[in-house]
Structure 1
């Protein structure tokens, strides 16, 4: 089936969806006998619940997964068993903290008011077209970077600059995708020869390592100079929290290497998921004017009467909780175009080390 995959790789999501529809939700993708590329692909809710929930411990990611996603090191996406549980516990503890919630709301609000709106006003005034996918990726990249590291890379601006950190992350993601659609021997040969996608991956990893370790060193210097001020600060990014004493409760010591892997995992998770969801949502709204009308009507209901004439009005999170129709529209966009359409799990048994079970959520 490999030739068919290579022919359809430019529209992989639609192609897999079509195959799943024809096969009642589950099919076996068979690669060349020498390539270790057999996949059991399923979108059946019962199967996904079995793999991802009720029997999750029987499906560790395994060696092959970690090799393909080697740029993420020992981060939460690559880890299994006790290391995964400890990282998950630490992430839940820090992200559920009230100070982080406050920081999140403040960061998004500032980025919308001082970043997103000025750009939209500028392109509207100039009568220019704007690629919303690129715009939302810049918005979520800056927001995620601030929330994770405390530093703003300045990706979202009228000049639309190329930011090395963002470009390296994109290159790494493309190389990871390439590793999924060619035999392992092919991409490992490319890595050994230093050519093709593997050459791009090597350069991306070097850039990511340099920038992330700079962030870590800078943060460590800040904390050593004014740790009391940081403890009392309202703005608490995840890197600051991971470098504090709080994470010792989960039995993990976040040395620089694990901090680097954790930062990249959060950056990968935060940027593309949110930007993809926003892009598809606005595309769907543009195709359904009646939905746009209902959303606007619902928004107008919670704008104060004396502010109706204002050019812009930013809603706070409490106000948005009242918007039932908007919430439903967002959920429908996520159902139709899930930001993470594939989730790959490996089997527990060593009898089939080459078999993976990608779960398709579309």
Structure 2
């Protein structure tokens, strides 16, 4: 009798779960969802082409109410309900990143994962800390001198470097990695505006810059922290193994570069962003930083 009761309870619970699951799945846009495992099989299958896979899922939502937005059911990976929401709609992105940014705090999980790389800077803070740094950054980015400096840097790198490389490629009929060129263009401009230093990664030889390589590696290793439970990457960090070991090596290069840049600006202040932010103080006289 007890066995029959247990079997009946299991069958009833399974039926209730399946009814709930199919009602939920029918409302989701995005990749196919299976009971228990969600979309994990498709994620694993497309792990080598994750960006193309996501772009395909987003393009298939063209006729839905959630245009250019889909939901990934990833139990064991996603926090709380087990869902990731992905969107590429301009209005959604503006809503999240600009008009109602305060509605989307990063939260302790994100902040803990990115703390080694970003500290408590504007890209890893919430609430009052983020607001103070945002106001400081916004004020600086609206100044006429900074806009003029930005125009000079961008125009120079495009005309004297990017156009030269593309012209040579067209003349000599050889392919180029446009994504790599645009990343180098962005990196040179950011370093010039922020530190007043030109790494010249967008030169005909396309040299490898240790700081750029280290920062990219550190970012990739940090993002991988979000794929695992917090205790796991903390254990790897404590033991100094795997991606955490590589992360610490990359962070050493980044920190040394930043330390040299700060020391240089202490000795010889300039009109770059680093010099401007080093002069800023909060209400208690403590230096504020937006990096």
Equivalent position of 1:278 in the other structure: none
1:242 and 2:277 matched? yes
**Shift of residue 48, structure 1, vs aligned partner:** 6.9
Q: Which of the numbers 21, 32, 35 marks the counterpart of 2:76? A: 32
Is 1:198 the counterpart of 2:220? The answer is no
SS in 2 for 1:155: coil
Is residue 64 from structure 1 mapped to residue 109 from structure 2 by the alignment? yes
2:287 corresponding residue in structure 1? 254
Aligned partners of 1:36 and 1:183 also within 8 Å: no
Using CA pairs under 8 Å that are at least 6 residues apart, name the structure with larger relative contact order, 1 or 2: 1
Q: Which residue of 1 aligns with 2:6?
A: none
For the Cα contact (< 8 Å) 1:147–1:238, is it kept in 2?
yes
Structure 1 distance, partners of 2:77, 2:147, is: 50
Query: Is the 2:77–2:227 contact (alpha carbons within 8 Å) kept by the matching residues of 1?
Result: no
Deviation at 1:53, TM superposition (A): 6.6
2:73·2:84 contact (CA, 8 Å) conserved in 1? Answer: yes
Whole-Å separation in 1 of the counterparts to 2:164 and 2:253: 30
Deviates more, 1:9-18 or 1:159-168: 9-18
Question: For the Cα contact (< 8 Å) 1:61–1:80, is it kept in 2?
Answer: yes
Given the alignment of the two structures, is residue 9 of structure 1 paired with residue 47 of structure 2, yes or no? Answer: yes
1:193–1:110 distance in 2 versus 1, CA, 3 Å: same
Q: 1:158-191: CA deviations, max 9, x gaps?
A: 1111100110111122213322334444433332
Change (3 A) 1:35 1:54: closer
> CA separation in 2, counterparts of 1:33 and 1:249?
39
- Higher-Rg structure is 2
Per-residue deviation at 1:207?
0.7
Structure 2 unaligned blocks of 5 or more: 1-36
- Output the CA distance in 2 between the equivalents of 1:143 and 1:123: 22
Matches of 1:168 and 1:64, distance apart in 2: 23
Matches of 1:167 and 1:147, distance apart in 2? 19
Alpha-carbon displacement from aligned partner over 1:175-220 (angstroms, at most 9, x marks no partner): 1332233444443333233233222211111110000111010011
* CA shift in 2, pair 1:213/1:7, >3 Å: farther
SS at match of 2:194: helix
Counterpart mapping for 1:322-361 below 5 A? none
Alpha-carbon distance, 1:122 to partner: 3.7
Match of 1:41 in 2: 85
Task: Note if contact 1:36-1:184 (Cα within 8 Å) is conserved in structure 2.
Answer: no
1:296 maps to none
SS of 2:71's equivalent in the other structure is strand
Give the superposition deviation at 1:155: 0.9
Using a 3 Å threshold, how does the CA distance of structure 1 residues 184 and 14 change in structure 2: closer, same or farther?
Answer: farther
The answer as to whether partners of 1:37 and 1:183 remain within 8 angstroms in 2 is no
The CA distance in 2 between the partners of 1:121 and 1:54, in whole Å, is 40
Once residues 243 and 81 of structure 2 are traced to their aligned partners in structure 1, the CA distance between those partners, rounded to angstroms, is: 19
Deviation at 1:110, TM superposition (A): 1.6
Contact 1:142–1:152 (Cα < 8 Å) also in 2:
yes
How many residue pairs match? The answer is: 245
- Flag the 1:144–1:132 CA change in 2: closer, same or farther, 3 A: same
Equivalent position of 1:73 in the other structure: 119
Q: Using the alignment, how far apart are the partners of 2:73 and 2:243 within structure 1? A: 24
Q: CA RMSD in A?
A: 3.2
